[in-house]
Each structure stands twice: as C-alpha cells, then as structure tokens.
C-alpha cells in the first residue's frame, strides 16, 4: 500500500490533483491500522485462501515474471540487452559497415578520376571526318573504331620536327605491337593537302613505318578535321605555284580509343620509351563506355556524390 502511495506521489505534477482525493482515505486507513504496512501482503494471501471473501491482489502487486523479484527481473532485462554476443555483433557490424563504406568510397573516387582523365564526360577532342587514305581508299572517323589509333598531324615537307616525331612514332608502333599485337592503328593526317597527295604520303611514310596510314583530303576537309582535333595549322597565304613553304602546326600525338573517342595526348616532351609506357598503360586500363557507364552509375556511385 505504501508502495502504491509512493508511486502515486512520484507521478508528474499534473496528475497530483487527481491523485490526492484517492490517496487521502488510504492514508487515513494506513495510519489507523496498527499493523506494520510490510506485512499487509503476506497476511492478505493466506486470508484469501482460508477466508470467505477472496481478496484480489491489486494489479500493481502481481509480478510479471513468476517468482522473480523485481531486482532479478531487472538483472534479466539487463542481461537480455547487453549480452556479450550481441555486443560483439554490434561491434562487428559497425566495423563491417565502416570498412564497406570506405572501400566503396575509394572505388567510386577511383572511377571518377579515371572518368575525368577521359576528358570530363564528353571528349572535346575528335569528331567526324571523311578523308582519303594513301592506299586510295576512304577513311572516316568510323574507321577509328575497333582499334586504338595513334594520330599525328604533320606534313611531308617538314624540315626537322616531323621526321623526328615520325621516327619516334615508328618506335612506338614497334613496341606496342610487341605488347599489344594488332591493337594499334597509326595514322598520319597531313596539314598540307595541297602538296601531300596520297602518292606523296605513301612514299613519305613508307620510310618511317609501313603501318602508318596517311590521310589527306581537300583543304576544307583537312581544316575541319584539324579543327575537330584542336590542331592548329597555318599554311602561308599567297603561295605562288612552284614556290616552297612551310606549314606551322601543333606537335603532339593523340591516342584514340577503339570507340573513336579521345583517350590521351602525348607531347613532344616525351621520349619514345615514355610514350610507349603511357600507351601501354592507357590500353591496359581502358574499358568500353558501356562498362564505364555501368560502373559510374552503380547504386553506390550516387551515394557519395
């Protein structure tokens, strides 16, 4: 009874007003009785079994778990939550999730970087072109597909840089042929279509490497191609027939992937060996666009970025 009382007293203030009229008579009763309140329970039980009127225990007095003291109950509850196994599972799953997120994040970051190296989504280098090859056929940007292409822009009357670069290209072709046979198509696009006919290109390129395919076309076709490839070139204006001239042009190699998309640029500062290493690495790490898209659009990719 005292417990009921204290419980009520402990209730929040709002209910105190309602509780008072109820507790008032109880209190009076308690004080009137001579028996100590503790024995109330024990005495009530035998009385009910023997006596004529079965006394009902108040609900608050009936223990939830039979035979267990409130202290023991508490202990059981405690044990139920903070079991060692549960704790171990908690820590393990925490560590597991942390590791998983970290590794997923690392993968996503790596993929992003690879994607960025490919030229920020849609490459700005390259575009459609239709030119004539030195064998008398038509070579278009569609023909870039299926193989990696190594592109060089130059002209046959080039005094010293183009020959140097083409010698380098020959080494690159031979070396890549060794490690990746049949995977590289070397191309030479002239910046001087007026003088570089297919015949001239054939003779010129045969001295460097038989695999290099020379491409030429009309001035406008070449101009358009160079523009698409961000290659600068300028033929001096007002050249009289028979007069010789030089063409100013950008110097570098482009590596295009088997889907005809820009993959890498190799500057003049690279030695043939460095360029070979770069091409090999590019070929090794290249993945078709479908694979790249699937990976970058993976369910986890959007989670971090």
Partner 1 sequence: MGLFTKTEETASVGPAGGDKDLTKKKTRQICWDSRDKFFACLDKHNIVDAIKDSELATAKCPKEEKQYEADCIASWIDYFKQKRTMEYNKEQMLKKFEEQGAVKVEPNVSFK
Residues that bind partner 1 (CB under 8 A): 116-117, 156-157, 159-161, 163, 200, 203-204, 207, 234, 236-240, 242-248, 251, 265, 267, 269
CB of 286 to partner 1, least distance (A): 15
CB of 243 to partner 1, least distance (A): 5
Q: What is the DSSP letter of 59?
A: G
Q: Which CB atom, from 143 or from 187, has the smaller least distance to partner 1?
A: 187
CB of 220 to partner 1, least distance (A): 21
- CB count in 10 Å sphere of residue 126: 22
> What tokens appear for 261 in the block?
């998309």
Beta bridge partners of 154: 190
Answer yes or no: are the C-beta atoms of 173 and 266 closer than 8 Å: no
> What tokens appear for 87 in the block?
């704790």
C-alpha to C-alpha distances, 202 to 36, 198, 230, 285, 302, nearest whole angstrom: 120, 6, 25, 33, 51
209 is in an annotated binding site: no
Collapse the DSSP code of 127 into the 3-class scheme (helix H, G, I; strand E, B; otherwise coil) and give the result: coil
Q: Which CB atom, from 1 or from 265, has the smaller least distance to partner 1?
A: 265
CB neighbour list of residue 251: distance below 8 Å, 6 or more residues apart: 154, 161, 165, 267, 268
Q: Which CB atom, from 86 or from 239, has the smaller least distance to partner 1?
A: 239
Beta bridge partners of 189: 153, 215
Q: Which CB atom, from 5 or from 251, has the smaller least distance to partner 1?
A: 251
Give one DSSP letter per residue of 111-126, joined into a string. Answer: HHHHHHHTTSSS-SS-
First to last CA, the chain: 63
Q: Which CB atom, from 143 or from 214, has the smaller least distance to partner 1?
A: 214
CB of 80 to partner 1, least distance (A): 58
249 is in an annotated binding site: yes
Dihedral sign for Cα atoms in the order 283, 287, 289, 292: negative
CB of 126 to partner 1, least distance (A): 13
Q: Which CB atom, from 159 or from 181, has the smaller least distance to partner 1?
A: 159
C-alpha to C-alpha distances, 281 to 56, 115, 180, 204, 292, nearest whole angstrom: 87, 15, 11, 30, 17
CB of 82 to partner 1, least distance (A): 54
Residues of the binding site: 158, 162, 249
> Which residues are documented as binding site for Cu cation?
158, 162, 249
């Amino acid at each position: 009874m005292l417990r009921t009382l204290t419980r009520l007293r402990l209730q929040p203030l709002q209910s105190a007003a309602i509780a008072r009229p109820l507790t008032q008579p109880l209190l009076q009763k308690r004080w009137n009785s001579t028996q100590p309140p503790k024995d109330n329970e024990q005495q009530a039980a035998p009385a009910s079994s023997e006596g004529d009127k079965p006394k009902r225990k108040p609900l608050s007095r009936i223990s939830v778990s039979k035979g267990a003291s409130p202290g023991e109950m508490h202990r059981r509850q405690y044990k139920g939550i903070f079991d060692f196994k549960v704790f171990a599972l908690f820590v393990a799953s925490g560590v597991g999730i942390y590791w998983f997120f970290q590794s997923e994040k690392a993968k996503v970051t790596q993929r992003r970087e690879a994607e960025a190296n490919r030229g920020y989504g849609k490459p700005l280098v390259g575009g459609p072109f239709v030119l004539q090859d030195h064998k008398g056929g038509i070579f278009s940007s569609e023909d870039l597909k299926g193989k990696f292409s190594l592109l060089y822009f130059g002209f046959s009357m080039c005094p010293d840089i183009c020959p140097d670069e083409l010698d380098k290209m020959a080494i690159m072709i031979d070396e890549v042929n060794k490690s990746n046979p049949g995977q590289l198509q070397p191309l030479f696009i002239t910046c001087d279509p007026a003088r570089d006919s297919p015949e001239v290109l054939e003779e010129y390129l045969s001295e460097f490497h038989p695999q290099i395919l020379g491409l030429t076309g009309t001035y406008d076709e070449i101009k358009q191609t160079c523009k698409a490839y961000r290659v600068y070139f300028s033929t001096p204006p007002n050249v009289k027939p028979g007069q010789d001239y030089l063409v100013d042009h950008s110097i570098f190699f482009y590596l295009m992937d088997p889907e005809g998309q820009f993959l890498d640029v190799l500057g003049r500062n690279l030695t043939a060996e460095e360029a070979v290493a770069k091409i090999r690495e590019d070929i090794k790490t290249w993945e078709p666009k479908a694979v790249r898209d699937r990976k970058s659009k993976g369910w986890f990719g959007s989670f971090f970025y």
